[in-house]
Chain A
Amino acid sequence: MPTVYVTYTPKNNGKPPENLISAQAGKETLQLVPVEIGSDKLNCIQAAQRAGVFIPHYCWHPALTVVASCRMCLVEVGERKPDGSIAMTGKLVPGCQTPVKDGTVVVTNSQKVVHEQAQTLESLLLNHPLDCPVCDKAGECLLQDYTYEFGRATSRMIDLKNTPANKPDLGPNIALFTDRCIMCSRCVRFTREIAGTAELQIINRGNHSEIDIFPGEPLDNKLATNVVDLCPVGALCSKDFLYKHRVWNLKTQNSVCPDCSTGCSIHLDGNKNIVYRLRPRENPQAQGYFMCDEGRLGYHYINSKERFLRPLRRQDGKLTPFSYDEAIRTVRQMLKDAVAKDAFGVVVVLSPFLTCEEAFLLAKYAKSLSKAVQLALGPVPIVGEDDTYPKDRRGRPIQPVKFTIRAEKCPNRQGVERILRHYQGQLIAFDEVVRQAEAGKLQLLYLAASYPPRGDGWLTAEQAATLGKVGQVILHDLYPSRASEIAHVVIPGGAFAEKDGTFVNHAGLAQAIHWAITPTGECRTEGQVVLDLMQRPGLLHAATLRKELASEVKAFAALASGDLGEYGILLDSTK
């Protein structure tokens, strides 16, 4: 088995790994962690990572080409001979550019390496403003972090720093704090290699180099804000987040972007019940490393003041608030009465924004009232066509595709459909529901909607007019809309950031979402509402429900452990 050896640096009260070996490199004795690499093509940074050793790096990023220019990752390499002795090359090499093979020894802690790491950091700080107190990146800044861990406490430079002008309008969503830039060129490579739009470039030379755009060609593409995450320092900032919150006060949850069926894994950063930003979370099974700006910046509705805060019922034509407990009792009774009268005339509509657990509970509950109750799929928002990147400067897609923003603007059609197929046998589309309403066949409509406010709303005016003819309409939703205009009872719904559960993306990847904030006011997530309708005690616990779902619905059998892990689980492709 090909094995690479990485030097071990004792950490404060950390236990050395058990497989540690000692080997002689000339006069020096090295403590090495062996790590098997199989047939993988790795550089020193990646190999060391597998051995649990961190090599600091700036310019290298697994999704971008290697430029080996920041020189933060310098290491020494050698080769372990069959007799166990080690021959070092005696030169510093960039770990990012240096591939490992069987027998490679990566030295990350020699005097030379340690000195050079400190030197690179001192260099990077020479012209750096160190305005950490007002810098958005402070707290998650790799210049701070590395300087703390690998750098010197003081700078020896007493000369004036370069002070290039800031570029607050690099793009509609992005500001450049020019002097904080460490010239890693990640942002430039991103726009060239992933977005393809190539807005960014480096102008000037030497220590006067700056990131810039061509006049009149702002950094404006659908993936643009990824450069903010890629930027290791506070040079590129998202205007959406700028000066809104100190990052160390944010609490981060792993979740999934609900804005299209790509289902980008994300970090959800919030505090005190407010979501402040979404960031892509690396997931090789989902989108890779990035997310689109639409998804990233599309969360503001969660914090909106327009949201329904209390259950409402229609009295004298007007929606008036009533208590949650009363709402649950009322809805339960309405359903019971309607089913008793004509169960075929009861339709429960599940939107593709529900989690699998919610859809499961609701389907199960509806069918427990009567097998005849119909389950249908809510409208699936489709906008345009799948949009792939990179693109060339004229906007034409380029192969190979590195990122796709999908036309299907919802996170969980795949999951909800699987549940509908199981409980209903066939898939009843929303148009069919409208037809039945038109034909006067429906007496109660239960709309579990909770669509985010996009475009013209999720119901067309005609659909709303037709559905308005149904005697009783019960609605879960976030906002006043055409749907609430025809509803008799409105129970506020939950947004994705308030939910624990599962979304299944376009490829059948089941990923976990976690709540970062709690629903405001008297809102409850749809899942909780259904639990209360079912009179199942307690709060929604996604893992428990997932196990239940896996055991009852074959399509979800792969989720039997209840744990989806960081990257999710691919359901088998039979839908």
Chain B
Amino acid sequence: MAEFEPVLLRRILKNASPSLEAYRADGGYRALDKALAMSPADVTKAVVDSKLRGRGGAGFPCGVKWTFLPKDHPGPIYLCVNADESEPCTFNNRILMHQDPHQVLEGMIIASYAIRAQVAYLYIRYEYGDATRAMQQAIDEAYAAGLLGKNILGKQGFDLDVYIHRGAGAYICGEETGLIESLEGKRAWPRIKPPFPAVEGAFRKPTIVNNIETLACVTHILDRGPEWFKSMGTPADPANPRDAGSYGPKLYCISGHVNKPCCVELPLGVTARELIDKHGGGVWKGRKAKAIVPGGISMGFLTADEIDTKLDFGSLGPFTKNGCLGLGTAAVTVIDEETSMVDVLYNICRFFEHESCGQCTPCREGTGWMLKIVDRIRKGLGRAEDLNILEEVGHQIGIMPGTTICGLADGAGWPVKQAIRKFRAEFESYIKSGKKTHTLQLVAAH
């Protein structure tokens, strides 16, 4: 196979890559020119045709989401750009914003044109100071160059203002309606749906929420066309009418017990093995992988036997053989054979217990209970029946069973359920062994 030519990362780490001048020299804002020569509906159609699926985690077809906006709405319509990127081990949005902010901004402007938004909010997690500054710099340059503001690039009536909003460090602010609440200055309690944001979102107006990487893809789709985009990735399975395919390039983050943690861009559908061995430099210390997190810890685990699973939207999912929640953010974390799954699960439970917004009973109480149980198992006080409880609770919380408002609970339950199902023997022998692991108790920051 010929070496893949990066699309989204092609300018990364090049000289002056964040500047407008350099971006333009590399063909930047050509896509915007092309888009402005089209009608907004045609831009949307190009994105629909490209079959681009959201990169934020849920994989919803991006263009289709745009068509959910009410027709002929008098406005305002908002674009909210999700740069909260808080799924553990995910760092591709950060690289895009920090190293090539104009690529992101161009996608935002094109998307705003397509959906007729005149205001776009860029919601960046607080921890990303460098990325925030790079984005602000790019926005300032864009205003000065007539790429933002009134009558953009001379297109009468196309106005756009972009505002950066910094989060305060909560995972739940990445959930699209949590993000909107937070943007409005409230506690990030995800909203009940319907209405979906496309109908009633920020400030109760129609709103499209898209991830940074999704919008970066939009730039290239407009520049090079939907067919080019669809030439990459895993095509839809013709036997499965529900499969929307996995097209285009994807930024895979590789972390954990590998020799070379990194972010690589590859067409969707690369296997976990290839990622780890070829791009991540293999498992560290000459060890083998015991478990692989395929796309952020909410997605569950692949076992060593499942290492040849393709990492795309169709190959990972509740109804596939591996039973993972999905592709998620495609953040691959490798857990080596010497690591205790009890410890891994403890860490995961601690994260979700800490990040549950606390609104829904099953999630609020379930995440707390799961942590207490795993902690107790870890301390040598586990019982065999605890594993059943963990599996049951893990299976029961979330929007998939219908017991919660947002998907955080699915993501909190999934790794627990899968850890028990896939690594039950290890948990059982840990419990039987009477081993005790004590952690220095962190001062709980609730």
Additional 17 contacts, C-beta under 8 A, given A71-B360, A183-B359: A67-B192, A93-B402, A97-B192, A123-B365, A123-B369, A124-B365, A126-B369, A127-B365, A156-B385, A160-B372, A183-B358, A183-B361, A205-B354, A205-B355, A205-B357, A206-B358, A207-B364
Q: How far is the CA of A119 from the CA of B393 in the complex (A)?
A: 9
Contact between A207 and B356 (Cβ–Cβ < 8 Å)? yes
With known contacts A123-B369, A126-B369, A204–B402 Cβ distance under 8 A: no
Measured CA separation A185–B189 after assembly (Å): 12
Do the beta carbons of B361 and A204 come within 8 Å of each other?
Answer: no
Known interface pairs A119-B396, A123-B362, A207-B367; A71-B403 also in contact (CB < 8 Å): yes
Q: Give the residues in chain A near B356, CB-CB below 8 Å.
A: 205-207
Given A116-B403, A205-B357, A206-B356, CB of A126 within 8 Å of CB of B368:
yes
A91 to B357 CA separation, bound complex (whole angstroms): 23
B contact residues around A126 at 8 Å (CB): 365, 368-369
Cα separation A162 to B360 with both chains bound (whole Å): 17
B165 within 8 A of A: no
22 A-B pairs with C-beta separation under 8 A: A67-B192, A68-B405, A69-B360, A69-B361, A71-B404, A74-B402, A94-B192, A119-B362, A123-B362, A123-B364, A126-B365, A183-B358, A183-B364, A185-B359, A204-B358, A205-B170, A205-B357, A206-B355, A206-B364, A207-B356, A208-B444, A209-B364
Q: Does B353 contact A (CB under 8 A)?
A: yes
- Cβ-defined contact, B446 with A205, below 8 A: yes
Q: How far is the CB of A136 from chain B (nearest CB, A)?
A: 23
Q: Please name all residues of chain B whose beta carbon is closer than 8 Å to the beta carbon of A162 when the two chains form the complex.
A: 368
Chain B residues within an 8 Å CB radius of A182:
361
List chain B residues, Cβ under 8 A from A94: 192
Task: Indicate which residue in A66, A120, A206 contacts B368 across the interface (CB closer than 8 Å).
Answer: A206
Is B402 within 8 A of A91, CB to CB? Answer: yes
A25 an interface residue at 8 Å Cβ cutoff? no
Complex CA gap A388/B353 in Å reads 42
Q: How far is the CA of A362 from the CA of B358 in the complex (A)?
A: 61
Whether A68 contacts B361 by the Cβ 8 Å rule is no
Residues in chain A near residue B365, CB distance under 8 A: 123-124, 126-127, 207
Produce 1/0 per residue, B329-359, CB < 8 A to A. 0000000000000000000000001111111
A157 within 8 A of B: yes
The listed residue (B187, B354, B403, B405) touching A206 by CB distance below 8 A is: B354
Query: Do B402 and A69 touch (CB < 8 A)?
Result: no
Please report the C-alpha to C-alpha distance between residue A66 and residue B191 in the assembled complex, in whole angstroms: 10
Report whether A206 and B192 are in contact in the complex, using a CB–CB cutoff of 8 Å: no
The answer to the question of A132 belonging to the interface, with a C-beta cut-off of 8 Å to chain B, is: no
User: Which has the most chain B C-beta neighbours within 10 Å: A67, A116, A162, A206?
Assistant: A206
Q: Judge whether B294 is part of the interface by a CB distance below 8 angstroms.
A: no
Q: Given the complex, which residues of B lie within 8 Å of A204, measured CB to CB? A: 358, 446
Contact count A vs B, C-beta below 8 Å: 97
Closest to A206 in B: B356
| Contact of A559 with B by CB under 8 A | no
Min CB distance, B64 to chain A, in Å? 21
Which residues of chain B are near A64, meaning CB under 8 Å?
Answer: none
Which residues of A sit under 8 angstroms from B359, Cβ to Cβ?
A: 67, 69, 183, 185
Instruction: Report chain A residues within 8 Å CB of B396.
Output: 116, 119
Q: Give the 4 A-B residue pairs with the shortest CB-CB distance, closest first.
A: A207-B368, A92-B402, A123-B365, A209-B358
A401 within 8 A of B: no
Interface string of A89-107 (1 = CB under 8 A from B): 0011110010000000000
Interface pair B361/A120, CB less than 8 Å apart: yes
**CB of A202 within 8 Å of the partner chain:** yes
A570 at interface by CB-CB < 8 Å: no
Question: Which chain A positions have C-beta within 8 A of B361?
Answer: 69-72, 120, 123-124, 182-183
Q: Does A159 contact B (CB under 8 A)?
A: yes
Chain A positions within 8 Å of B385 at CB level: 156
Assembly CA distance A146 to B10 (angstroms): 60
A125's nearest neighbour on chain B, judged by CB, is B365
Q: Does B201 contact A (CB under 8 A)?
A: no
* CB neighbours of B187 from chain A (8 A): 202
Q: How far is the CA of A208 from the CA of B366 in the complex (A)?
A: 12
Contacts of A120 in B (CB 8 A): 361-362, 403
Bound CA span A94–B365, Å: 18
Which residue of chain A is the closest to B353 with respect to CB atoms? A206
Residues of B within 8 A of A71 (CB): 360-362, 403-404
Q: Interface digits, B402-414 against A, CB 8 Å rule (1 contact, 0 not)?
A: 1111000000000
Complex contact A66–B372 (CB within 8 A) = no
| Contact residues in A for B354 (Cβ distance below 8 Å) | 205-206
User: In the assembly, what is the distance between CA of A160 and CA of B187, in Å?
Assistant: 28
* Choice from B192, B355, B360, B372 contacting A159 with Cβ under 8 Å: B372
Is B387 on the interface with A (CB-CB < 8 A)?
no
Q: Decide if A69 touches B405 in the complex (CB within 8 Å).
A: yes
* Residues of A in contact with B, size category: 35 or more
Collect the chain B residues with CB atoms within 8 Å of residue A69's CB.
359-361, 405
Complex Cα spacing A123 to B446, Å: 20
Contact A66 B360 (CB under 8 A): no
Query: Which residues of the partner chain B approach A66 to less than 8 Å between Cβ atoms?
Result: 192
Partner of B376, one of A123, A159, A208: A159
Q: Write out, one digit per residue, whether chain B residues 106-150 have a CB within 8 A of any chain A CB (1) or not (0).
A: 000000000000000000000000000000000000000000000
* B window 231-284: CB within 8 A of A: none
A204 to B187, CA, bound (A): 10
CB nearest to A204 among chain B residues: B446
A74 and B403 form a contact (CB under 8 A): yes
Q: Is the CB of B360 within 8 A of A208?
A: no
Closest Cβ neighbor of B388 among chain A residues: A156
A108 to chain B, nearest CB (A): 15
| Complex contact B360–A206 (CB within 8 A) | no
B-facing residues in A127-183 (Cβ within 8 Å): 127, 156-157, 159-160, 162, 182-183
Q: A157–B360 Cα gap in the complex (Å)?
A: 19
Q: Mark A60-93, 1 if CB is under 8 A from B, else 0.
A: 0000001111111010000000000000000111
- Using Cβ atoms and an 8 Å threshold, which residues of chain B touch A202? 187, 358
> For the complex, is B152 an interface residue (Cβ under 8 Å from A)?
no
The answer to whether A68 touches B373 (Cβ under 8 A) is no
Does B369 contact A157, Cβ atoms closer than 8 Å?
yes
From A128, which residue of chain B is reached at the shortest CB distance?
A: B365
Chain A 175-218, CB-CB to B under 8 Å as 1, else 0, gives 00000001101000000000000000010111111000000000
CA distance A91 to B398 in the complex (A): 12
What is the minimal beta-carbon distance from A7 to any residue of chain B, in angstroms?
Answer: 17
How near does chain B come to A175, taking the closest CB pair, in angstroms?
Answer: 22
Given contacts A69-B359, A126-B365, A159-B376, contact A207 B402 (CB under 8 A): no
Residue B74 at the chain A interface, CB threshold 8 Å = no
Closest residue of A by beta carbon distance from B392: A119
Q: Does B27 touch A at the CB level, under 8 Å?
A: no
Q: Is B401 close to A, CB under 8 A? A: yes
Asked if A92 and B401 sit within 8 Å, CB to CB, the answer is yes
* B58 contacts the other chain (CB 8 A): no
Contact with A along B363-396 (1 / 0, CB 8 A): 0111111001100100000000100010000001
Q: Which residues of A contact B403 (CB under 8 A)?
A: 71, 74, 92, 116, 119-120
Of the residues B358, B372, B402, B405, contact of A205 by C-beta under 8 Å: B358
> In the complex, which residue of chain B has the Cβ closest to the Cβ of A76?
B402
Q: Kindly report which residue of chain B lies nearest to residue A207, judged by CB atoms.
A: B368
CB nearest neighbor in A for B408: A206
Chain A, residues 12-27, CB within 8 Å of chain B (1/0): the string is: 0000000000000000
Which residues of B have CB within 8 Å of A206? 353-358, 364, 367-368, 446
Residues in A neighbouring B367, C-beta threshold 8 A: 206-207
Residue of B nearest to A123 (CB): B365
- Measured between beta carbons, the chain B residues less than 8 angstroms from A67 are 192, 359
How far is A72 from B366 in the complex, measured between Cα atoms in Å? 14
Report chain B residues within 8 Å CB of A68: 192, 405
A94–B194 CA distance with the chains assembled, in angstroms? 12
B368 / chain A contacts, CB cutoff of 8 Å = 126-127, 162, 206-207
In angstroms, Cα B385 to Cα A94, docked, is 30
* Cα of A159 to Cα of B362 in the assembled complex, Å: 17
A137 to chain B, nearest CB (A): 18
